[in-house]
Structure 1
Amino acid sequence: MVVGGVGVDPLTEWQVVEWVRGELDAGRGGRIVTPNVDICRAAARDVALRELVNSGDLVVADGMPLVWASRLLGTPLPQRVTGADLIWTLSAMAASRGWPVYLLGGAPGAAVAAARELASRCPGLGVCGVEAPPYRFDESRAGLERVRRRVAAARPRLVFVGLGFPRQERLIEELRRELPGAWFVGCGAAIAFAAGQVARAPLWMRRAGLEWLFRLLSEPGRLARRYLVDDLPFALRLLGGCLLRRAVTRIWVFSGR
């Protein structure tokens, strides 16, 4: 289904994990994209970015406004599925299968700390590599090659890439050529969350669609413009447009047209 201008798969988190398990068992790799309002806004303005999202093997909603919009359209998504949650459930699945994972992204030290936390909560998990590339490493071919060689040499089956959109998705496209049988997750801040470097909102705020508010209050200097000036108007337009479409559809139905 199309929500916020991008195609989204109507899957629960558990269904995503089971899908990836089945594909890895069959020796097939893939890419998971987790669009939120900010990513949808960027995709709406840029055809290339929209294609980058829609070309994902699995595209799941990482933003409650997308779930609300789907409900207004009459085709409700079953659940919000975030990269911050998938890093745990997919790692647990990988541990049960003996599949190594790779953590790529985050501030210095984040990937190491996240690997330690994941291993402690997912017994048997093998973390075959961690990487925190320097800022703008991907602006040079040499920087890209260094990362590509390290990841390829580790031979992971699951790779979590937390560099922010669209940098992480573009890097994943490069890495998939070397590791066609691996699954990649563009997970944003998930590595920092798993490391404990950035606090997640309480569960009740996540369920109520208020995680953005928690993050805004935690990092106002970095997030105020993005959330309040860029994303909030887009979210309101999205929900307003879906509500209008629903009202028009009902009028047509009741009028017998």
Structure 2
Amino acid sequence: MTKTLHDDLPQTVIPEQRKARRPEIDLQARIEGEARAYHHLMDINLQVFDSVTDAAIRILRRARGRAVGTSVFTCNVDHLMLMNKEQRFRDAYERADVVTIDGAPLALLTKLTGTAEARRVTGVALTGALVEQAERDGLRIALVGGAPGRGVMAAANLRREHSELGEVFVDSPRMGFEIGDEEDQRLVSGLVAFQPDVVIVCLGAPKQELWIDQHRNELPGAVLVGAGATIDFLSGYQTRAPRFFQATGTEAAYRLATDFRRLWRRYLLRDSKFFVLFAGLTLGYAAGRARVGSSARSHGATRRRTSAARPSPCRACGYSPAA
């Protein structure tokens, strides 16, 4: 079924529905799906994976059989700064099931404050790894967000690159819709009918994280990933930085140089405060290591489980990751 709201561009593409699934509790899958380690940063539980593929596999295992959707946020410097200004955004982050390390500066900070094995798991890379697993295991993918037509193009590109991938749900809600309004209800109804296994949500921060936090209960067993501009990348509308910038962690500089008019306020005003935070946290961690102070705001800690249902609190500061 296709609805057209903007000229002849498909706004919503809903493939054939399937029978309702009944979630079953799978504690072993939950245990296997836990990240190997976490890094506590400003009350946020950053999870550390061996690789992007490892992250995709573990996240899918974690989601299997859950009565609610599994929320996955990819944390970068901009998100960290937004948390200091918007309490609802911070609350959503603290309720998230999985928070990966997205930005290179954030990865460097976690390495300097106790987690040497920290690796980036970006929204684009995680989406690619999840799609590969979906093709292998016959899982259903949904793409939410992007300008009209881009989601359809992104889905077509995915199907071209992954010939065994099944039908892909696509919906580009109108610009400016509000969570809970009629447009949002239409979107959620389509997703509930389709019953996806993976939902890639590209509505921009903080909206995509708030949307996932609000609607995860309506999509049991699904993985919901806040993935920023991933649909733009998949559609070919926007290109990623050359490999040199990706490898050296300077992709943000490339994006700023190529899209200065749209990004300068975010990178040069709001996110510049991160460097002050960076210095304070690294110095605090160094002081703690030298036994002349303590650092409870940023430190690494290996995840330990006291039972199959709940991870134990961090031994350094008592912070307890979400179960």
Q: Normalising by the residue count of structure 2, what TM-score does the alignment of the two structures yield?
A: 0.73
Match in the other structure for 2:216: 176
Where 1:34 maps in the other structure, the secondary structure is strand
Structure whose residues are more often helix by fraction: 1
Match in the other structure for 2:281: 242
Task: Quote how far apart the aligned CAs of 1:25 are.
Answer: 4.6
Task: Quote how far apart the aligned CAs of 1:4 are.
Answer: 5.2
CA distance in 1, matches of 2:91, 2:245: 31
User: Against the structure 1 CA distance between its residues 140 and 21, is the aligned structure 2 distance closer, same or farther, given a 3 Å change threshold?
Assistant: closer
Cα deviation, 1:118-157, whole Å, max 9, x if unaligned, reads 1122221123310111111125621111111111111111
CA distance in 1, matches of 2:290, 2:104: 27
What pairs with 1:1-257 in structure 2 (closer than 5 Å)? Answer: 1-3=39-41, 6-11=44-49, 12-26=51-65, 29-138=69-178, 141-231=181-271, 233-252=272-291
CA distance in 2, matches of 1:225, 1:203: 25
Task: Quote how far apart the aligned CAs of 1:102 are.
Answer: 0.5
Question: Structure 1, unaligned stretches of length 5 or more?
Answer: none
RMSD: 1.8
Would you say the 8 A contact 2:111–2:118 is kept in 1?
no
Structure whose residues are more often strand by fraction: 2
Task: Quote how far apart the aligned CAs of 1:46 are.
Answer: 3.0
CA distance in 1, matches of 2:121, 2:47: 10
Number of aligned positions between the proteins: 252
CA distance in 2, matches of 1:2, 1:139: 30
Question: Structure 2, unaligned stretches of length 5 or more?
Answer: 1-38, 293-323
CA distance in 2, matches of 1:195, 1:83: 15
User: Against the structure 1 CA distance between its residues 90 and 32, is the aligned structure 2 distance closer, same or farther, given a 3 Å change threshold?
Assistant: same
Would you say the 8 A contact 2:155–2:168 is kept in 1?
no
Would you say the 8 A contact 2:44–2:93 is kept in 1?
yes
CA distance in 2, matches of 1:196, 1:112: 11
User: Against the structure 1 CA distance between its residues 77 and 37, is the aligned structure 2 distance closer, same or farther, given a 3 Å change threshold?
Assistant: farther
Would you say the 8 A contact 1:162–1:168 is kept in 2?
yes
Cα deviation, 1:21-59, whole Å, max 9, x if unaligned, reads 323554564111001101000112333321211211110
Q: Normalising by the residue count of structure 1, what TM-score does the alignment of the two structures yield?
A: 0.91
Task: Quote how far apart the aligned CAs of 1:6 are.
Answer: 2.3
- Name which one, 1 or 2, has greater alpha-carbon Rg: 2
